[in-house]
Chains A and B, each alone.
Chain A
Amino acid sequence: MKTQSFIWVAGFAAFLQAAAAADITGTVTLTGTPPPERPITPLKDDPTCGKFYTEMPTTHFFVVGPNKELADVIVMLKGVSGKSTGASAPAVMLDQKGCLYGPQILAIQTNQKLLVRNSDPVLHNVHATPAASGNKEENQAQMPGSPDLTFTFPAAENFLRVKCDVHPWMFAWITVVDSPYFAVTGKDGTFKISNVPPGKYTLTALHRKAAPTGMDKDIEVKEGETAKVDFTLEIK
């Protein structure tokens, strides 16, 4: 009976918090001219993987829209830690298709499951090369059609690199955040961080090339209001 009451109270408290929480939205744009993307020649030259492409595939470091909207930017609350709900959050999928990782940039919470799938008819190996202490380096082979591999990372880390050593042009970068308050910009450069408790925060925007250490902005989230924050990253 006591347990049931506790669950009700906890659920009610969570409802109240969600009701009081607000969203943060915005757009990230890029100024300056990014360097031209490069053709992934080894991929096209590979006897197996090259068959997947009729045209030369290229790198995608700067995915910029017509109005300079920048995709693949991780926007997150800075300095918020210990709030991760990763252990109970749904798993995030990283696929290997056409001998490339998709998505190439993603963000997950600490201890959130990362499932890595091999949709290709060739063997890949999934080699996570973290830099933060607490995250373990792993290098696992994955045959075609074999079950998804599961990875978890207990420590926060920006741009944790995952690579395939069999196909050395394959890279993905995972930002591990110790809270659920983050988002990755889409092709239109927009982001939305939901259910942020009211308060003053520092919001940071990370891009692997244009802002590898992040661009910070101080914001205030008020109850029931949507905070709108735009970032303009510059390439010199």
Chain B
Amino acid sequence: MPQIPNNPWLHRFALATALVTFLLLGAGGLVTSHGVGMAVPDWPNTYGYNPFLFPFSKWVGGIFYEHTHRLLASGVGILTGILALWLHGRAARPFMRWTGAALLILGIANELLLPKRWADGIVSGAAGLVMLGSSFFWPRCGPAAKWLRRLGGIAFVAVVLQGVLGGLRVVLSDDALGIYHATLAQLFFALTCCIALFTGKGWERSFRPEPRPRGSDVPVRGNGEFNLRHWLVGMTALILFQLVLGATMRHQHAGLAIPDFPLAYGRLWPATDPESVARYNERRVEVVAANPITAFQIDLQMAHRIVAALIVAGVGLCAWRAKRVRGVLGAIVFAWLGLVLVQAALGAATVWSNKAADIATAHVLVGALSLATGALSCIVCFRSPEFARDTTVLSPVTAGGPEDPSIAAGPAAAQS
């Protein structure tokens, strides 16, 4: 059985990373909701400045949203890097020293060879110095399990890829890249939540097999009737699909394709023949997102509404079946249902408010929480049914110093 370094500070740091990622999602959502994704036309620079040194006096209009998003993204990148390194424990020290030295040399070389880009050299050199210095104070804990270290590595690669995708979306001015950027953002947030879960005390406890609790008569594993695990996975996948639909709608930059709810252009299913679409466009008065709508966009929003109804029904069913599951899993699934209901209300409010930026962004954020909660419920459920209840009989696995025998001896020690 793989071991987890039960280090409360690492867990808190992972939680903080997930929280800042959530804020970043909000910042990104505001950029798209306000339609200001191209307010800063260059990347990785900001109007020619090193992004960390862009004068605050120039943070006006859409630049404020876009530049804040970029800086927060850099922060999340740094946090994810630290988290990935922390999962390697003391073994990360040599890597940090070498990388820090390399960045420092790069910064000095930049100053000598490209004096006009002096700010880049300073940022690179400062980052190198901080990394080099930190290596001497780096936690001496042992490494996490290999799979968790890999997960940290995947998170880091994902955050870098996400940054590049965001940059390319600006440089290439390609709306389709925005859809990938938005989808990866949701997945990345769910990943950071999972890492926070895996580094927590509860996860460590869940290694200990316990007898199935009495009264937990809902078959978590399949028995042919209702397989809660399958339903949780299915609903989580459906939420991810719904988020992709939502991202596709938002990155059309055409405002609301259907301006009313629960009806659509006054009907249960709107007409999408060319004459009708022309008539809809004729009467649309856009303040922002001035693009004509198409039949495809109307169909897309109808699909989004139908999938939303399926999700509410499906998650409601999961909650109904999980109500007799005591402990964590039942609580998570009920919280999930609450989120999904709030999300449905926010979806309606988005239409009724004519896609007000703050409401549309809240819709994105609760969507992200719904996906992450679905992912966590799946993991908890698959982990073991015992994890679903509040286990208390445990011997603590102490937080990670290098001398911690449970870590040094590996999984067997952790379970002994």
**Which A positions have Cβ atoms within 8 angstroms of B?**
35-42, 46, 48-49, 59, 61, 122-123, 125, 127, 129, 137, 139-141, 161, 163, 165-169, 171, 209-210, 212-213, 235-236
Contacts and interface: CB of A to CB of B under 8 A. Distances in A.
A137 B281 CA distance: 24
B197 to A, nearest CB: 38
Contact of A125 (B34, B39, B281, B287): B39
Q: Which of B35, B38, B66, B289 has the most CB of A within 10 A?
A: B38
Given A38-B285, A212-B281, A123 B38 contact: no
16 contacts: A35-B284, A35-B285, A38-B287, A42-B287, A122-B60, A125-B39, A125-B41, A161-B290, A163-B290, A165-B36, A165-B66, A166-B61, A167-B61, A209-B284, A212-B278, A212-B292
A235 B283 CA distance: 8
A127 B41 CA distance: 9
Contacts of A167: 61-62
A61 B47 CA distance: 33
| A interface, over-half SS | loop
Contacts of A213: 278
Contacts of B273: none
Contacts of B35: 165, 168
Contact of A61 (B58, B61, B285, B288): B285
Contact of B288 (A122, A137, A169): A169
A40 B287 contact: yes
Interface string B60-88: 11110010000000000000000000000
Given A123-B63, A125-B41, 7 more contacts: A42-B34, A48-B60, A161-B290, A165-B37, A165-B38, A166-B63, A168-B34
Contacts of B63: 123, 166
Contact of B282 (A49, A123, A169, A236): A236
B282 to A, nearest CB: 5
Contacts of B281: 209, 212
Contacts of A168: 34-36, 62, 288-289
| B interface, over-half SS | loop
B391 interface: no
A61 to B, nearest CB: 6
Contacts of B62: 165-168
B283 A122 contact: no
B279 interface: yes
B360 to A, nearest CB: 13
A140 B41 contact: yes
Interface of B: 34-39, 41, 47, 58, 60-63, 66, 173, 278-279, 281-292
B285 A210 contact: no
Contacts of A38: 285-287
Contacts of B39: 125, 165-166
B402 to A, nearest CB: 52
Contacts of B37: 165
Contacts of A171: 290
A15 B279 CA distance: 46
Contacts of B289: 168
B126 to A, nearest CB: 27
Given A139-B173, A212-B281, A59 B38 contact: no
A236 B290 CA distance: 20
B254 to A, nearest CB: 12
Contacts of B283: 35, 235
A218 B101 CA distance: 76
Contact of A59 (B36, B60, B66, B285): B285
B287 A166 contact: no
Contacts of B61: 46, 48-49, 122-123, 166-167
B41 A139 contact: yes
A42 B38 contact: no
A39 B292 CA distance: 19
Q: Which of A49, A168, A209 has the most CB of B within 10 A?
A: A168
Nearest to A235: B282
Contacts of A59: 285-287
Contacts of B278: 212-213
Contacts of B290: 161, 163, 171
A6 to B, nearest CB: 46
Given A48-B60, A139-B173, A212-B292, A36 B287 contact: no
Nearest to B170: A139
Nearest to B66: A165
Contacts of B66: 165
A166 B288 CA distance: 12
B287 A139 contact: no
A61 B282 CA distance: 10
A56 to B, nearest CB: 11
Nearest to A213: B278
A96 to B, nearest CB: 12
Q: Which of A166, A171, A236 has the most CB of B within 10 A?
A: A166
B35 to A, nearest CB: 4
Closest 10 A/B residue pairs (Cβ): A166-B61, A165-B38, A168-B35, A165-B39, A139-B41, A168-B288, A166-B62, A35-B283, A166-B39, A38-B285
A207 B281 CA distance: 12
Nearest to A48: B60
B139 to A, nearest CB: 43
B36 A36 contact: no
Nearest to B33: A168
Contacts of B34: 42, 168
Nearest to A36: B285
